[in-house]
A and B are shown apart, each in its own frame.
Chain A
């Protein structure tokens, strides 16, 4: 019913506008309204993009990706702790020729040889007349040289850009920074260990201070030159955080030609070898620091002990003797500052093999260290469990070899209050709550600081003294093992130190490989003559480099004063001068010698 009504009204409406013109006009207006609506929509959209979302779209356009293509990813830079640039990647232009387009190759060749005297005319001519469309002529052109080539006006000469890794400081910290191959992959050092981060374009900042690095290298090289030595290594480390401020291995090489050097590894192995972290050496008497600390840890009255060092210890084929022995009874401080093997071996026996080996292990001396570069050496020690002879010899460092860096870290752990130090190239955030691992008690740490200070004021390390810095340390001179035998004339002379001894900030260590005696040293090439003076010079240079004035030190407050009563005379036989020292009873107890075995001819081991 409704339908009929609607149809009638529709007809009625249509009837009122019945002409076809009217119909088409209606349709046109509907079409017109549709177009107006569409354009209105477009206008709204334009307003939306331009005004409402304006800024966001603007940034997107300014972003390089949408217009000019992806931005190149460049390998990250390496900086030292002060922001000095150590490694960066720049675009380097190479000169190439398209032989097909070269006109008058002889003239071009002679022109090029004039510009680049290192090129050979024959080689260049060959390149210009070769088959093919691309022959490389020369790498690494400076912009000025590129301009010069353009003056030749040769269409057949062109430049190709490639990324080149350069090291502005040349030889500086070569073994630590490392280098890359021609494709930019890290092959050694920081370049290798941090390769992923660098390849992602991130910059890396390491803990080295290149000003100090230079001073340390200078003084170590001087020690090597003065004593005509083969090689050397040195490190300056923060005694609390383990940050390495300077790490030197000599001889070194220029990182900018590293690919050439590494390309002939056998010929250049002396230069490429990192003696600080990869080299494993018998460092000798430095282990007395650890065995003495172990003695204090296990014997709370240890300071009152005394040892008769008149007779050498014979055990098996072995004879343990002292270098320039004092031939009397020595107190524990005296055993330490005269570096007596006999006294130390007796202390080691009292500590026991299990504790001693465990203690060395806890200090990180027996195992390869986890470090920020991959070139890490493998320490050697007697087979476990230690037999009696091994316990005796291990207490004064015989038969144990480790890397200089691990030795420095071990010493830091003992003297910094007793907390384990892990050497690192990464800047440590001081405010972070660190899990501090205690390796010795605070009391033992303090006793060891006093002993180390005494070594410098009264003992074998006197040449390391720098007035005002309260330098303490320990000498270590060991014979090198060549073809399974100890060589009497081939020594590893080292000195490890810490300063200022009342609250040590830094560890400074120098190792010299095969020093030879010179005139000034009266025929000696031992650590006290070779390495200790180098350490002293480094400490002296740290005054101005690190801004450490020396005028805060008061000799009357020296940390070692209360140990002076235990010392009868200095290592050089001079009288001990004590200022304001309290008077303490001399120790009375004596330790018996071990039951001697039959005297047999054996290898005499001398270490100081």
Chain B
């Protein structure tokens, strides 16, 4: 008699458990759907922000604007053709004498020492 009663309890428990699980899953799906909508909206906002930034980047890189700024703040003018060489070897050999190399090496060491002191702490 009690064996049969146990069986009913067991099956009843299963029914309740599966019902509860169903509720849980369903609730989870609803929650996930809401999350997706939220994420969609923030993706759209980010995409819009990216578009605005792309447009601003293009505006900041307008060659006319850069030319004005370069001339005004840096005193730079458009490069003349003579300032371009196709090959470093074309440069006058005088530029690459021993004296110059020595001097540049010395100044390089000096820079290293200065930065060593400025940086401090061993290394």
Do A552 and B63 touch across chains, with their CB atoms under 8 A apart? no
Q: Mark A533-551, 1 if CB is under 8 A from B, else 0.
A: 0000000110110011111
Q: Which residue of B lies closest to A46 (CB)?
A: B25
Q: Report A's interface with B, CB cutoff 8 A.
A: 61-62, 64, 67-68, 84-86, 88-91, 166, 168-170, 172, 210-211, 213-215, 218, 466-469, 540-541, 543-544, 547-552
Determine the distance from Cα of A469 to Cα of B82 in the docked complex, in whole angstroms.
Answer: 11
- Which single member of B36, B48, B58, B86 contacts A552 (CB below 8 Å)? B86
CA distance A526 to B85 in the complex (A): 35
Contact of A90 among B51, B83, B84 (CB under 8 A): B51
B50 to chain A, nearest CB (A): 10
Tell me whether B85 and A551 are in contact (CB under 8 A).
Answer: yes
Partner of A543 from the list B56, B64, B84 (CB cut-off 8 Å) is: B84
A-B contact list, 21 entries, CB within 8 Å: A61-B36, A68-B36, A68-B40, A85-B55, A86-B58, A88-B55, A90-B52, A168-B56, A169-B58, A169-B62, A170-B62, A213-B63, A214-B62, A540-B80, A543-B79, A543-B80, A544-B78, A544-B81, A549-B86, A550-B82, A550-B84
Chain B 24-62 per-residue mask, 1 if CB under 8 angstroms from chain A, else 0: 000000000100110011000000100110111111011
Could you tell me the distance between the alpha carbons of A211 and B79 in the complex, rounded to whole angstroms?
A: 13
Which B positions have Cβ atoms within 8 angstroms of A?
33, 36-37, 40-41, 48, 51-52, 54-59, 61-64, 67, 78-87, 90
Central interface residue in A88, A168, A466, A548, by most chain B CB within 10 Å: A168
Q: A90-B52, A166-B55 known; A549 and B63 CB under 8 Å?
A: no
A174 → chain B closest CB, angstroms: 13
A218 CA to B62 CA, complexed, in Å:
13
Q: Are A88 and B81 closer than 8 Å at their CB atoms? A: no
The answer for the CA separation of A89 and B61 in the assembled complex, in Å, is 18
> Nearest Cβ distance between residue A211 and chain B, in whole angstroms?
5
CB nearest to A550 among chain B residues: B81
Cα(A543)–Cα(B86), bound, Å? 11
Shortest Cβ gap from B61 to chain A (Å): 7
The 10 closest A-B pairs by CB, nearest first: A168-B58, A543-B81, A214-B63, A85-B58, A544-B79, A549-B86, A168-B59, A550-B81, A68-B40, A549-B84
The residue from A67, A170, A466, A541 contacting B40, defined by CB atoms under 8 A apart: A67
Contacts of A89 in B (CB 8 A): 51
A84 to B86, CA, bound (A): 27
Of A85, A169, A469, A541, the contact of B78 (CB 8 Å cutoff): A541
